[in-house]
Amino acid sequence: MKEKTELIVTGMHCAACSSRVEKVLKKIPGVEDAVVNLSLGRAVVLSQEKLTIDNLIGSIEKIGFGATPYIAKPFGDIEAGLQLEEEHSYRRDVIIGLALSIPMMIGMIGGGFHISWLMGLHNPYLQAFLATIVQFGVGWRFYKEAWGAFKGGGMDMSTLVVLGTTAAYGFSWYQLLLNSGHQVYFETSAFLISFILLGKYLETRAKGRTSEAIRSLMALRPDTAKRVVNGIEQEVPVDYLEVGHIVRVRPGERIPTDGKIILGQGSVDESMMTGESLPIEKAIGNQVVGGTISLTGSMDLEVTKVGGDTVLARIIRTVEDAQTHKAPIQRLADQISSIFVPTVLAISGVTFLGWYFWGNPGDLESALIHSVAVLVIACPCALGLATPTSIMVGTGRGAELGVLFRGGGQLETLHRATVLVLDKTGTLTEGKLKVSELLGSDEEKILTFAAALEIRSEHPIGKAIVAEAAERKYKLPVAETIEVIPGKGIQGVIEGQIYYAGTSKFLSDMGIDLAQWIAEGEKMASRGSSLIYFGSNSKFIGLIGVADQVRKESKEVVAQLESQGIEVWMLTGDHKGTAEAIAEQIGILHVVAQVLPEEKSAKIAEIQKTGKIVAMVGDGINDAPALTQADVGIAMGSGTDVAMATADVTLMGGDLRHLVTAFDLSKATIKNIKQNLFWAFIFNLIGIPAAALGYLTPILAGAAMAMSSVTVVTNALRLKGFQSKK
């Protein structure tokens, strides 16, 4: 198990920044991998052994960035405070910068039009004074960042800003002191810094909105709970609750934590978990989830999970992890960003030489202005933000709709899936099995003895057999030395004899002749029943048919996915006849039945060898190997914890329609990323040549550069309004 260390990194502004932090972290002894998310401002470091946090922070600080340990709190939001602090810092500097720059621009206009009462503001010494405050006051942050980049052996956005504005500022002093103040550009350097700061401020505000999904999830948990002690209610902070405590929830109140109803009943709004607005009826013995809302009825709950173990806390952590991980599509942006700044510097140099020797020969002023415009327009902020902001908003929106993505990579892979493999029981069906048919001379013995073997079973079929025996009020004998054979059945000793319950193959392997009963079993299977053969001492005793209800949405979901060109398979350990009957009812053409858990993963591997990308949906422990083998493993939220822990995507609440949402959201997010990358690339492809050819002034270039980042983030925010076509 790899150790994971998380840090909050401050001072990053572009893809070059995050790339430089990644490189320095990867060089530290013991570090196996490091991923830095620019939008979140978070670094995730993987290692075999626990690393010294001070060493990691020190390495980051040496290259000019700040770092603090990330402390995972189930319902805390460290980034929110830091983001707000950064936003206020930018807002302060923008106000100062514009307050000093605008009079300079007014003076320039007044001087150009010879407006006497504005001429005073055009005084070059006054402009030099105001520009100096902007350049080395609010603009000092860029110098610090550029120096940090230089010490780290790299260059970033701040390098371009510093070189561009310093060139304009320095040239203005040259004109003022050595050339009688002819054509100074103090307002250019001041306005450039102010515009860039304004762009960073707007970008920071927009980035803050990308984490709203997490903050809205955090807000679902109430601060206090009504704990019941000896029949008396006590209002206590939720953090004080422990497993086993009793809490009371009245209509209209949020359930404070996960628990089991021990008194009362009512309906609960679980839309925050499932994405569905219909209330769920709850009674004694039912589980409830913290953060959901009690609509009707008063209920007393026994606390079953607290803090980071609750469903809500796990959802929040899953979304955070998803937002931290990079999607493969981001590698393109990272690779380009690593060579972008040096390339821009080269282009700026060529622009200077081109204008000085050929454009306007000998005109230092013109050459300098055009080369500065190139430096300013090319800042790679938009490129660095293109992917992570879309991933953040997309995964956050997924959580709101009941779809949890484990990472950006899974979100990207899902949209490329060409084959969808579905388990049957609990996935395509409700998983609420009921004994439908019995074949044998002594129904009571068949049911009671089979139920005795299955009494402790968690398998839906076993539970159905036990429930039927209980409903008929049969008294169960005692079974001993019970052994479960995965994918085959169960055996145990009852009244001194070994009994077997399971598949036909299992009983045949135990020496029981089923020849005359197979045909009857096929008939039962054709009616949609799962078969449990029962026998002992080489003798067939009976056959139990257990039927499951197909989820009402299964047929619709399969049809929608196939209409998108996705090939749908059913993969089940159930009897072939039963599987085919269910498949026909739903509209699935590809069926593989009577497979063991390890055979499921082998079948998926076989499909993958044909070059197809496979997504697998399952809900049980037996599905875990297949979920791991698939390119994307998808677990039903109503299934086992093992399945959900193994899966890349979890469909909360067990509604199969969330599967369509997952596919649609994956496609929408990747489309959004491609749009962002397109605009980021096209901006530079058009902007850099335009600046080099003299069509953009440095001020216009600065304004355009600032707005490019805002445009990318704003486009990503459109995903907040995503709605599935289901």
Which active-site residues does the annotation give?
423
CA distance 32 to 43: 13
Tokens of 247: 């809490």
CA distance 569 to 424: 10
DSSP letters for 255-305:
P-SEEEEEEE-EEEE-HHHHS--S-EEE-TT-EE-TT-EEEES-EEEEEEE
CA distance 444 to 431: 25
Tokens of 439: 């074949």
DSSP letters for 465-513:
HHHHHHHTTPPPPPEEEEEEETTTEEEEEETTEEEEEE-HHHHHHTT--
Tokens of 160: 């371009």
Q: How many other C-beta atoms lie within 10 A of the C-beta of residue 665? A: 25
Is 678 in a helix, a strand, or coil?
helix
Number of H helices, E strands in the chain: 25, 26
3-state secondary structure 101-134: HHHHHHHHHHHHCCCHHHHHHHCHHHHHHHHHHH
CA distance 287 to 292: 12
CA distance 8 to 44: 9
The answer to whether 454 and 465 are in contact (CB under 8 A) is yes
What amino acid is encoded at 615 in this protein?
A: A
Q: Which residue has the tokens 């109803």?
A: 261
Produce one character per residue of 508-545: b if its CB has 16 or more CB atoms within 10 Å, e if not: eebebebeebeeebeebbeebbbbbbbbbeeebbbbbb
